[in-house]
A and B are shown apart, each in its own frame.
Chain A
Amino acid sequence: MRLRILVLGLGNILLTDEGLGVRAVERLAAAHDLPENVEVLDGGTLGLDLLPRLEGVDALLLVDAVQAGGEPGALVRLEGDAIQAALAVKISVHQVGLRELLAVSAFQGTRPPHIVLWGMAPAVIDWGLELSPLVAARLDALAEAVAQELRAWGADIDH
């Protein structure tokens, strides 16, 4: 049986690079023919409203702006417990919503068994709809990293 996969882009698109997760999953969906078992969702800053979306999901791929101390544009990959640990020291700008989402789903028993977070360090966070030139130039790299992860999960991309 094929895995049910959810690719969840997070962030506020009104705040330039803060919305890079949303922009990256849009790029992913535009650049690839995704199979039926892969759902791509613009989660914005919705937090707990996304809870029902996690039900029945086998593998969750989070895409978010991540401030991990790296250079702007640096890619970050976290998996499993490392996500929860990283959230405790605040790496994502929506950490509170995301941490709660994952914790509540765990308490409820709906937390997807497999979770990976792909992120990129933002360059600019300020009011505006456009990504910074640096992050915009790196967006394909993030979208491709996500696509590669999906392939590794057995998703039948572009067929």
Chain B
Amino acid sequence: MPDTYLPLVANTTAPRRIAIDPITRIEGHLRIEVEIAGGKIVDAWSSGTAFRGLEMVLRGRDPRDAWIFAERICGVCTTVHAIASVRAVENALGITVPDNARIIRNLLEAIQFVQDHVIHFYHLHALDWVDVVSAVAADPAATSALQQSISNWPNNSPAYFASVQSKLSGFVASGQLGIFANGYWGHPAYKLPPEGNLLAVAHYLEALDWQREVIKFQALLGGKNPHPQTYLVGGVAVPVDPASSAAINADKIAQLKTKAALALDFVNRVYYPDLQLVASFYPEWAGYGGTAGEYLSFGDFPVDNSGGLAALYLPRGIVRGNNLAAPPEPLDQSLIQEYVTRSWYQYAAGDGVGLHPSVGETQPNYTGPQAYYEHLDTDGKYSWLKAPRYNGAAMEVGPLARMAVAYAAGHGRVRELVGALLAKLGLPAAALFSTIGRMAARGIETVVIAEQMAAWIGQLEANMNAGRLAIHDGTRWDPATWPAEASGWGATEAPRGALGHWLRIKAGKIENYQAVVATIWNGSPRDDRGQRGPWEQSLIGTPVVDPARPVEVLRTIHSFDPCMSCAVHVVDAAGSEVTRIQVVP
């Protein structure tokens, strides 16, 4: 039997509190409690329910090895943790990587973005909008017509959709619907017609086939699938040499171009049109799910080796209060602080202070209820996530933040796509700051990045043809060349948002290491001033039709693409119920 949310107590009158636990469809553990009155969410609490302590593994190790462990934090975000880690060490030691290393890292990260966003949509988020079971009743001919109305993708015949439907019917009949765990089939909040649902199921399967090909892009760049081995402090470990069959050569460049084109084609003709189709059936969701509109982007994808912020293809910056009319504020990483006032940690200087990650402490102080509790003590500490703040403010990170910063910074292609999408959906600019807006930002970003890959492959090819083959700067590889003490930070953007690693090196070893991942920014609990984290903000005001089946909560939380395995990990006693919903008066 798949995981289902079992109502323990139902049909009570408002206000009531419900808990959704866990909320991710993939590995990891996260719990949301919401209070509902008058059919709407009036308050929310977000809690990561397992302890995080990467620094305990890394302390005392060689900083050059840190990325090998860091990429194990999360099975979904291997590449970005590796990049953040090597950048942090390079920053501490004053290393500039060669141009080819910059490009190869960009390409590996770009393909991860494209793959991750597409799979997030079909495999994780679509289930909040698509009633898979309803697809069994779809008319294949009408589905074919619908497909042809949104894109010229060739798999569009009635026979094709009939075959998918037959496969689905057999699967449903076999009782293996666990694949689509956590769906609320038949819920009145599902608005797509059966044909839209069948189309989405077909593309769910096609996305898996597409992913199989796209993943090979990483292998071409020397990544040892499944765990990348390409990275190296000072550059990358994959040679560029037109004369070597083992290196990146003309043949591999050609294959990279083919895979990148395949990635872009699916985005343009399947994913992006499907996203718009779903959005068109849920216009009211352009009115829910917004945060306070404080956005942070570290930016990423350097387009040259200057090291300058102007060279980031996706810009770095801060947008305040949903204001896209002014240029983004410059981001000063020294203004990032993590609070534990409402988190299960204690700081030596007291729980009311914020600490910059470079001097971060991870001293657990669990004050919560014992196992099998019904509710968290949300008046006290209630999460294993710390609360990162930028200059005191809770910041949303992720696709919407990146696109808001890019838009405000005048990014031409982003502005063009945002304008076209709003016009097509008939939505005002304010609609961007919502659940639908967040999904749209993810789609726009996927297009923008997938389009850019060909240019980066071209840069790599030009370097190769000009004999610029360097992939590694080894001048500071030997610890004898290092200062006695050094500290640095490495910033990148993971698909789900800003990712920073901070480390201090002393006598050649890691003295302290802290990772602040996207889900900690977005899923953070309240802070020293009682200020809610972005998820907590985003849920307030959302209507919940049926508190026993709160699909509305999932729609918004999933729009952030939570990845709790980055932040916390599952540690459950045998036999404990891991998925449940409780409704109490």
Which residues in A have some Cβ–Cβ distance to B below 8 Å? Answer: 12-15, 18, 41-53, 55, 67-69, 84, 88-91, 93-97, 99-100, 103-104, 106-109, 125, 127-129
Contacts and interface: CB of A to CB of B under 8 A. Distances in A.
Contact of B56 (A46, A100, A127): A127
Contacts of B212: 51-52, 55
A50 B57 contact: no
Nearest to B209: A108
Nearest 5 Cβ contacts at the A-B interface: A45-B75, A103-B179, A127-B53, A67-B574, A52-B212
Given A69-B575, A93-B570, A47 B76 contact: yes
B27 A14 contact: no
B571 interface: yes
Contacts of A53: 226
B178 A99 contact: yes
Contacts of A18: 569
B56 A128 contact: yes
A47 B27 contact: yes
B515 to A, nearest CB: 12
Interface string B530-566: 0000000000000000000000000000000000010
B401 interface: no
Contact of B569 (A15, A55, A91): A15
**Interface SS of B by simple majority:** loop
A46 B75 contact: yes
B208 A97 contact: no
Contacts of A49: 75, 215, 225-226
Interface string B67-83: 00100111110100000
B423 interface: no
A107 B176 contact: yes
Interface in B181-238: 181, 205, 208, 211-212, 215, 225-227
Contacts of A51: 208, 211-212
A89 B3 CA distance: 9
13 contacts: A12-B72, A14-B54, A44-B227, A46-B75, A48-B26, A51-B212, A68-B574, A84-B176, A88-B1, A88-B178, A96-B27, A97-B75, A100-B25
Given A49-B225, A107-B167, 10 more contacts: A14-B73, A42-B227, A52-B212, A84-B178, A93-B571, A93-B572, A97-B26, A107-B171, A107-B176, A127-B51
Interface string B152-185: 0000000000000001000100001011010000
Contacts of B253: none
Contacts of A106: 171, 176, 179
B475 interface: no
A87 to B, nearest CB: 8
B324 interface: no
B474 interface: no
A50 B573 CA distance: 26
B26 A67 contact: no
A109 B167 CA distance: 10
Interface residues of B, number: 44
B585 interface: no
B142 interface: no
A46 B115 CA distance: 14
B576 interface: yes
A29 to B, nearest CB: 15
B38 interface: no
A104 B56 contact: no
Contacts of B57: 14, 127-129
Contacts of A84: 176, 178
Contacts of A91: 574
B306 to A, nearest CB: 34
A91 to B, nearest CB: 7
Interface string B322-365: 00000000000000000000000000000000000000000000
B462 interface: no
Contact of A104 (B1, B208, B573): B208
A42 B226 contact: yes
A51 B576 CA distance: 28
Interface in B29-62: 51, 53-54, 56-57
Nearest to B73: A14
B119 interface: yes
A21 to B, nearest CB: 13
A84 B225 CA distance: 26
A107 B172 CA distance: 10
B87 interface: no
B573 A97 contact: no
B226 A44 contact: yes
B455 interface: no
A94 B53 contact: no
A119 to B, nearest CB: 12
A12 B574 CA distance: 18
A101 B225 CA distance: 17
Given A49-B215, A49-B226, A51-B212, A96 B25 contact: yes
B571 A47 contact: no
A90 B208 contact: no
